[in-house]
Structure 1
Amino acid sequence: MLRPWKDPQKEARNDPPKNPRKVNELVVVSGASTGIGAATAQALAARGYHVLAGVRTESEADAVRADGIEPVTLDITVPEHIEALARRIADDPERRLLRVLVNNAGIEINAPVEVLPLALWREQFEVNLFGHIAVVQKLLPLLRRSRGRIVNISSVGGVAALPVFGAYAGTKFALEAASDSLRREVSAHGVQVVVVQPGGVRTEMAARSGDISLELAAGMSAEHQRLYGGLINATVASNTAFLKRAVPAAKAGARIARVATTPRPRTRYTLGTDAAFVIPLARHLPARLMDGILAMSHRSRNPKPAPAPESAGSPS
């Protein structure tokens, strides 16, 4: 049974000690320049691990570099970066084993299925799914040596596909399925696979996603504006309002660090009250009832579309 996210202050027994003992093991966190990834890297370093934090630029590296956090250049869609990461771990000067891989990197570009260009569909799948699979394929031999753990950061969107989120949710649904198969394939090898399903978390990516949606909407045809303009505006407004009370990235990172290091993890964890509420609904309610609930939640901010214009040959 899924359990809701809990405030870290109420789980003090699981918090790292004030002066943690150095752990002679490595952890990889992709997408660690900001948001959940950066917070997770910091929380794992606070527990004494040496974190290889995936970033894409020198400025990002300078921002995350800290005691216990070593930035590494890692765009997970670039095979050479993944190869270099594997060599860095295999050739570690202290011969430390890789204990945990946190697959966190991701992008979010939201628009209606009909409107979102195929190139942007493919870009999201390259980052949110295929890039993670490429990292897993390369690092699994190292994780077998340590009998380590893979933590895949999914989303509430991996269970409940909201309108306008079709491409992003598609990548997360696929990651959920791949995680299940992977867990069943490698459990006999001593490798654990855990999925974390965040709801709303206050991050730069989440804040940017609304602006990106509005920019895409501004470039839509007049017909698509008529069909989808109200829905997009309502969705962005709803998400923007929710993010003001969403889980801070630091608390999300602390939660993921506990999931990554707890001795006997569950297969899935929700993160945030919205995920703990929406995911069981999506799994147990009939699809048509869920459709109705989502439609009602947008109705107040989603005006009815204007009637279609008459064609030139229509009778008056």
Structure 2
Amino acid sequence: MTQPNKNELMVVSGAATGIGAATAQELAAMGYHVLAGVRTDGEADGVRAPGVEPVTLDITVPEHIESIAERIADDPEERPLRAVINNAGIEINAPVEVLPLDLWRKQFEVNLFGHVAVIQALLPFLRTSRGRIVNISSVGGAAALPIFGAYAGTKFALEAASDALRREVTAQGVQVVVVQPGGVRTEMAAHSGKISLERADKLSVEHQRLYGDLIKSTVAANTAFLKRALPAARAGVKIARAATTARPRARYTLGMDAAFTIPLARVLPARLMDRVLSASHRSQRNTSSH
């Protein structure tokens, strides 16, 4: 049931599907007016709903970011900006040696630099409202699986930027929260495995010999896990709560895999963590073969 109008704005990037769409819907149900970032008219039609206003927002396009800042500044009801949920992201996985540099750069442009650009543009509004920034990271921001080097690299970097930002703006009344999802059933997660396998088929004979089995086994393990992973709708509920609770923690994990893996990554020696992750993936592959 939709709650009474809270007369405040929320911004959610990457809101066309998955976690972003679920978060936008949950915030709207809580009574906020959500500016839901999408890239196409078709995506806009898919998310438009009471309390959810689609806005064109490719976070790598400066004009889009300027436009959403103007939309907030010129809000007809003069509603304050309560929170920004930086959720947009892409995932293209391949071994470090064979992933082209342009795809490394593309992932950093979306998963890191785009979020920084949004923060730089919207932070003045949050300073006025004493609002909140919620950065959607990943379990990959604490423990990098094989073939996830570029994606995990963007999340490690987002974690560091979030820590610095939190320490910079706390005294200004702005809160910074990091959400670390593990496996969540989304279109991006399902599609990334297919992309990895398609790229593997195009590798040289030598690179297929070196990495082919690793790519296939990693994709198989992740595919098996996603069948019982956290639904996007439940992730959206948890993120909405992190964005609105009165006294938020600095970090929240989503899903049992994140809750298990992230603490281990902090305390285990690197070589032991390697074995833990390898054993986990062998278990996933064995499960998928039954």
Structure 1's 120 and 19: CA in aligned 2 closer, same or farther, altered over 3 A? Answer: closer
Aligned residues: 285
Match of 2:273 in 1: 290
Match of 2:167 in 1: 184
Cα deviation code 1:132-181 (max 9, x no counterpart): 00000000001101000000000000000111100000000000000000
Partners of 1:70 and 1:257 lie apart in 2 by 17
Partners of 2:9 and 2:2 lie apart in 1 by 19
Match of 1:13 in 2: none
Pairing 1:24-103 to 2, within 5 Å after superposition = 24-103=7-86
Match of 1:109 in 2: 92
* AA matched with 2:158: L
Match of 1:223 in 2: 206
Shift of 1:241: 0.3
Unmatched 5+ residue regions in structure 2? none
* AA matched with 1:210: G
Q: Secondary structure at the match of 1:116?
A: coil
Pairing 1:1-316 to 2, within 5 Å after superposition = 18-298=1-281
Aligned 8 A contact 1:112 1:163 in 2: yes
Shift of 1:121: 0.2
Match of 1:12 in 2: none
* AA matched with 2:77: E
- TM-score normalised by the chain length of structure 1: 0.89
Cα deviation code 1:166-198 (max 9, x no counterpart): 000000000000000000000010000000000
Q: Answer with 291-300 or 22-31: which moved more.
A: 291-300
Shift of 1:294: 2.4
Shift of 1:291: 1.1
Structure 1's 227 and 204: CA in aligned 2 closer, same or farther, altered over 3 A? Answer: same
Question: Aligned Cα RMSD in Å?
Answer: 1.1
Larger Rg: 1
The percentage of aligned residue pairs carrying the same residue is 79
Q: Secondary structure at the match of 2:20?
A: helix
Partners of 1:267 and 1:59 lie apart in 2 by 35
Q: Secondary structure at the match of 1:264?
A: coil
Using CA pairs under 8 Å that are at least 6 residues apart, name the structure with larger relative contact order, 1 or 2.
1
Aligned 8 A contact 2:10 2:83 in 1: yes
- TM-score normalised by the chain length of structure 2: 0.97
The structure richer in helix per residue is 2
Shift of 1:297: 3.9
